[in-house]
Amino acid sequence: MEVRKLHPIFAAELIGADLTKAPDQTLIDTVEEAMKEHVVLCVRSPVISDEEHLRFARAFGPLELPGPYRADQPRRMAYGLYDASNLDVNGEIVDPESLRAKFSKGNELFHSDSSFNDMPSKWSILRSVIVPPERGDTHFVDLRHVYDQLPQDMKDRIEHLVAEHSFAASRIKGGLDPVEAERVKAVFPGAKQAMVKVGPDGRKSLFVGSHAFRVEGMDDAEGLALIEELLAFASQEKFIYAHKWRQGDLLIWDNRYALHRGTEFDYARYKRDLRRTNVNEYGEERSAITGPLPDMATQKQPA
């Protein structure tokens, strides 16, 4: 196996792995070391199944599950995978005017998966099954490097600050109606996160994203302005790695040190099927969802 850099700052690809086989200790160690250094890793492997995807993910920690299992629920993919596609349960393109389509617009803002949960999220592992022929890249930023580049006065300002993160907040920013967002808040209560994280190696990283909406000790407007200022700094083109998807790519990123965002493609014309596992740092496998989400594929956004 060989690890090759994809960007001058961070991100790499792993060549020579075969994920159709159960991961052995050599593969696990290679991936762990590559992730420590590069934060984002694309594993180039023969095409794998949902079950092989889940098996690989579980080699690195307990899964954050997408919701309570229901045997009577129609599925397009194996339980344990998050659906990051524009497809319904029958594999057809979802109505672009549905709540689900509007809901997904929030993914086009830089964020860290599950920062609104109290359980620390280690990695996301996203697999491409169907890739549109154009556009639809995914952008990444290494928050360790971004922190290093911050002016010292900003580092001092945020050193001990804590931000509140909410899934509903990022969906409102993406255009979701506030009434529907209230229903999301009931399912994802939110969490508080330090704005500066310190890794096991002592290296500091900035920790903000579109889920962050309030800073403790500041009024709402001041806190949001600070978050937006930091996000604007982190979103500079020189910091971004743009991943151009190939069918079968398995892309891993560390949610503790990286932001990501999807980019636009022709949602109504092209199918895009991406399937994701989330790996937690520790604990038992569990769902972070506290209640049922509405069926957004068929509901329309209020006028």
Burial class (CB in 10 A: 0-12, 13-18, 19+), 152: exposed
How far is residue 287's CA from residue 75's CA, in Å, rounded to a whole number? Answer: 17
User: Which secondary-structure segment (H or E) carries 260?
Assistant: strand 258-262
- Provide the pLDDT for residue 302: 39
Greatest C-alpha distance within the chain: 55
| Single pTM value for the model | 0.91
Under 8 Å between Cβ of 255 and 281: no
Question: Which three-class secondary structure state does DSSP give residue 30?
Answer: helix
Contact 163, 216 (CB under 8 A): yes
What is the model's pLDDT at position 290? 56
DSSP lists the bridge partners of residue 260 as 111, 140
pLDDT of residue 101: 80
Say if residues 90 and 72 touch (Cβ distance below 8 Å).
no
Find residue 111's DSSP bridge partners: 260
Position 299 scores a pLDDT of: 44
Fold of 2-287: Double-stranded beta-helix (3.60.130)
Q: Terminal CA-to-CA distance of the chain, rounded, Å?
A: 53
What pLDDT, on the 0 to 100 scale, is given for residue 233?
98
Sign of the alpha-carbon dihedral angle for 276, 108, 91, 249: negative
One digit per residue, the tens of pLDDT, for the chain of length 303 reads 999 999 999 999 999 999 999 999 999 999 999 999 999 999 999 999 999 999 999 999 999 998 777 788 889 999 999 999 999 999 999 998 887 887 777 788 999 998 988 877 899 999 999 999 999 999 999 999 999 999 999 999 999 999 999 887 777 776 667 777 777 776 777 899 999 999 989 999 999 999 999 999 999 999 999 999 999 999 999 999 999 999 999 999 999 999 999 999 999 999 999 999 999 999 999 887 655 554 444 444 433
Domain borders along the chain are 2-287
Cα dihedral value 105, 109, 110, 115, nearest 10:
-60
Do 169 and 210 meet the contact criterion of CB atoms below 8 Å apart? yes
